Amino acid sequence: MSKILKADQMNKCNGCFTCQRVCAGINHKSYSDDESAIKIRSLGGLATGKFHAIYCLACVDERACAAVCPTGALTDREGGGVIFNSKKCIMCKKCAEACIVNAVHFTGEHTLPIICKHCGICVKYCPHKCLKMEER
User: How far is Cα 110 from Cα 105, in angstroms, rounded to an integer?
Assistant: 9
User: How far is Cα 117 from Cα 98, in angstroms, rounded to an integer?
Assistant: 17
State if pTM tops 0.75.
Answer: yes
- The pLDDT value given to residue 46: 59
Give the pLDDT band (50/70/90) at residue 43: confident
Give the pLDDT band (50/70/90) at residue 31: confident
Q: How does DSSP assign the chain, residue by residue?
A: --EEEE-TTGGG--S--HHHHHHHHHHHS-S-GGG-SSEEEESS-GGG--EEEE-----SS--HHHHH-SS--EEEPTTSSEEE-TTT-----HHHHH-TT---B--SS--S-B------HHHHH-TT---EEEE-
Give the pLDDT band (50/70/90) at residue 47: low
Region 26-40: mean pLDDT is: 92
Backbone angles phi, psi at 8, to 5 degrees: -100, 10
pLDDT for 56-102, tens place per residue?
999 998 999 999 999 999 999 999 999 999 999 999 999 999 999 99
Q: For each of the domains in the chain, give its residue range(s) and CATH number, in order of start.
A: 3-135 (3.30.70.20)
- The pLDDT value given to residue 48: 63
Check pLDDT > 90 for residue 111.
Answer: no
Region 13-38: mean pLDDT is: 94
